[in-house]
Amino acid sequence: NGYDIPALREGRIERRAVPINAPKGMSGFIFNTRRVPFSDIRVREAMFSLFDFEWLNANLFSGVYRRTGSFFDESDLSFRGNPLSAREIALVGPELAALPPAIRDGSGAPPKTDGSGRDRTVMRRAIELLREAGYAIREGGMTHSGGQPLAFEILVTTREKARIALAFADTLRQVGIRPNIRLVDSSQYWARLKDKLFDCIIEGFVVGASPGQEQVNRWSSIAADQPGTLNWAGVRSPVVDRALSALLAARSREDFTASVRALDRLLVAGHYVLPLYHLSERWLARWSHIRWPERLPRYDLTVELFWFEANR
């Protein structure tokens, strides 16, 4: 909506949405499982039902985004649409029984709301999970049986992230949860992330067509307690470590795909990150005298693709 200008109407500027076939990556609310309340997976799962993506997308983003449901979404590395293979079953082992059926058969997806901002169905599911974790609404606030209120801080460093956090907080308050949104400067923000001194942040993980060693930095038990790593969630899981080792050791496409899908299932099932959204295409606007090849790369665009045609 930023191109209602004469140059576009006159044909001097062309807009195009270019499909990108690489994994779309993951951005979302990352929960620090080292800390209460996010050390309890039931609390983390309840957060999923309390995030109203449909309202956010319609009211803040003109409906342009798709909800992310996988760490490797819209690629053959994603678990979505792919039931467990024999290779994955052998890799996951006894922990397979703990995976929800929708994760095992590839049909798993984030909860979907009616877009009203007050969907009682998903809220009811969240309250049930919180009750299992020992919480109940007392005097208007979600409180644990031990007396501790369900409260946490969402640490942000940009106004845009604060806006997303505020929309999330509005739904949380409807069930008695009182989040505190703290906007800090960049130096303080990254210092706190380095030492994992936060409850919840909004960050993202870029993923290429061939994920590798960077995944160890994000999800391995070794990285969980090392300062400066990207294992912000504090994932410590032997089965996740096995999937990471299998990913790095893979020497065939089949083994590689199986290990990445297994990793994807385990991370989604662990509710370490509440997914936000992504664009399936790369938006491009170019002057008509800037040319590009008829056949475009499969995974992304680079500036080297384009050239200036002087006679246009």
Going by pLDDT thresholds of 50, 70 and 90, the confidence category of residue 231 is very high
**Which tens digits make up the pLDDT trace of 277-303?**
999 999 999 998 999 888 888 888 888
Spatial CA neighbour of 100 closest among 140, 48, 54, 61: 48
Q: Residues with Cβ < 8 Å from 139, sequence gap 6 or more?
A: none
pLDDT at 299: 84
Q: Is the pLDDT of residue 74 over 80?
A: yes
What percent of the chain has pLDDT above 90?
87
Question: What confidence tens digit (pLDDT) does each residue in 123-145 have?
Answer: 999 999 999 999 999 988 999 99
Q: What is the pLDDT of residue 20?
A: 86
Q: How confident is the model at residue 309 (pLDDT cuts 50, 70, 90)?
A: confident
Give the pLDDT band of residue 58 (cuts 50, 70, 90): very high
Q: What is the mean pLDDT of residues 158-183?
A: 96
Residues shown for the chain: 312
**Does pLDDT of 71 surpass 80?**
yes
Please compute the mean of the pLDDT values over residues 216-242 and round it to a whole number.
Answer: 97
* More confident call, 231 vs 304: 231
Is the pLDDT at 169 greater than 70? The verdict is: yes
Q: Given this model, what pLDDT does residue 9 score?
A: 92
Using the Cα atoms of residue 3, residue 116, residue 25 and residue 250 in order, give the sign of their dihedral.
negative
Task: Enumerate the β-bridge partners of residue 273.
Answer: 30
> What residues contact 118, with CB distance under 8 A and at least 6 apart?
171, 174
What's the pLDDT score for residue 267? 98
Diameter over CA atoms, the chain? 76
Mean pLDDT of the chain: 95
- Report the alpha-carbon distance of residue 259 to residue 103 in Å, rounded: 15
E-strand ranges in the chain read 13-19, 26-31, 66-67, 135-138, 141-144, 153-156, 180-183, 200-205, 273-275, 277-278, 281-287, 290-291, 307-308
Whether the predicted model's global pTM rises above the 0.85 cut: yes
Beta bridge partners of 66: 278
Give percent of the chain above pLDDT 70: 99
The angle at the Cα of 103, spanning 73 to 276, to the nearest 5 degrees, equals: 40
What average pLDDT score do residues 19-47 get? 96
Nearest by Cα to 272 from 228, 237, 226: 237
Question: What pLDDT is attached to residue 312?
Answer: 58
